Chain A
Amino acid sequence: MKKYVCKICGYVYDEANEKVKFDDLPDDWKCPLCGAPKSMFQLLEEESVSDEEKKIENSHESNEEDMREMTYGELSALCSNLSRGCEKQYLSRESELFKKLSDYYDKKSKEQKEDNYNIDLLIDKINKDLETNYKKAREISEKEKDRGALRIITWGEKVTMILKSLLTSYQSKGEDFFKDKKIYVCDICGFIYVGEEAPDICPICKVPSFKILEVRKEVV
């Protein structure tokens, strides 16, 4: 009897309590808690890991520039983050002003012409995040004991895994993948849920469902 754990939300599929062996579950079986695909599960073994993590230590890339120019996209997200920060302190005017700056940069970012983008490019970026960026950030943050940084690395890495699985499912199954389903985004951590009804709490950041918002189809 084996146990398998969901890499996204931590749900454990324990063969001892189930009628079906994990390997015999259909390919389109999903995590009952967060909807992650079967491929997101890993065999639960006592304290294994670390080999993979050790490899990363040797794969350092040098970070040349310390202060780079920010893109319009970065400037917009920095300002919208500060707008949220003001909102949390009930500083409504300040929040509004940062929002105005964010919108300005957002518009600039959207105006830039680019015709060669495709889904593959998005997946490439995600792979680089998962293979390099998050692992490197985790290693450094653990060394520095930066709990705040570790929080966003943990949430962000999980959300990124979900985005990857959604994009690859969409690539292989097309729009059928979303058939008769709704799409939700957790307004706290960015988790995307595809299904009938939003989960009671976000499987990643654990915020209650009123913060998990539906993304509706646009009326044509």
Chain B
Amino acid sequence: MESKKVRAVRNLRLCSKDCLCLYVCPTGATDTETGQVDFQKCIGCGACAKACPAGAISMVPYQYPKQQVKDEKVMQSLNNIFKSKTDQENIAYKLYEKSSSQIEKQFLKALIRSNRLLAEDTVREAGYMLPQSKNTNAFLKSLLDNNDEDFPKDAVNELLELLECNE
């Protein structure tokens, strides 16, 4: 259904099982065993979101607006930080592997996780916020050149099929 602009999603952490969504939904889309709303049945009317006393349902767009255009120099300066954080994650991992102390390993594990989060958040602001962006699309296409036997190219192909570029 191309005409549908939004669909309902349920935040399972907030859902308090009041089940008013079941009562107000005109198509029975919220009546699933997975806990999530059935996207095939959802017509995007928003009745469930309005009725939910826990505020656990929100309406999300099928088509996200275009990503903000980023200044080239901003991206470069963030990329330097991004590279540095991934290097630090790697150093921490190599130290973790070498270490035989339980406490040191625990600390290094925290450092690995912290640096990964910093790297993710930085690259997100460096032009890779939306999975549907031109940047992501170009990145995925560049991965198709990888012919290594163990490379999961089918995942790349499937992503290119599923994620329509919005720019």
* A residues lining the B interface (CB < 8 Å): 63, 66, 71, 73-74, 76-78, 80-82, 84-86, 89-91, 93-94, 97-98, 100-101, 104, 109-110, 112, 114-115, 117-119, 121-122, 125-126, 128-129, 133-134, 136-137, 140-141, 144, 146, 148-149, 151-153, 155-156, 159-160, 163, 166-167, 170, 175, 178, 183-192, 210, 215-218, 220
Nearest CB in chain A: distance from B62 CB, A: 10
Q: Which residues of B contact A126 (CB under 8 A)?
A: 88
Instruction: Tell me whether B125 and A151 are in contact (CB under 8 A).
Output: yes
Partner of A122, one of B92, B117, B126: B92
Instruction: Tell me whether B155 and A100 are in contact (CB under 8 A).
Output: yes
Total A-B Cβ pairs within 8 A: 207
| A129–B94 alpha-carbon span in the complex (Å) | 20
Nearest CB in chain B: distance from A40 CB, A: 17
With known contacts A77-B89, A126-B88, A137-B77, A146–B117 Cβ distance under 8 A:
no
With known contacts A137-B77, A183-B110, A101–B83 Cβ distance under 8 A:
no
Q: List residues 91-147 of chain B with CB under 8 A from any CB of chain A.
A: 91-95, 98, 101-107, 109-111, 113-126, 128-131, 136, 139, 143
* B residues lining the A interface (CB < 8 Å): 9, 13, 36, 60, 64, 68, 70-74, 76-78, 80-95, 98, 101-107, 109-111, 113-126, 128-131, 136, 139, 143, 150-152, 155-156, 158-159, 162-163
Nearest CB in chain A: distance from B159 CB, A: 5
| A106–B159 alpha-carbon span in the complex (Å) | 19
Instruction: Tell me whether B73 and A140 are in contact (CB under 8 A).
Output: yes
| SS of A interface (majority) | helix
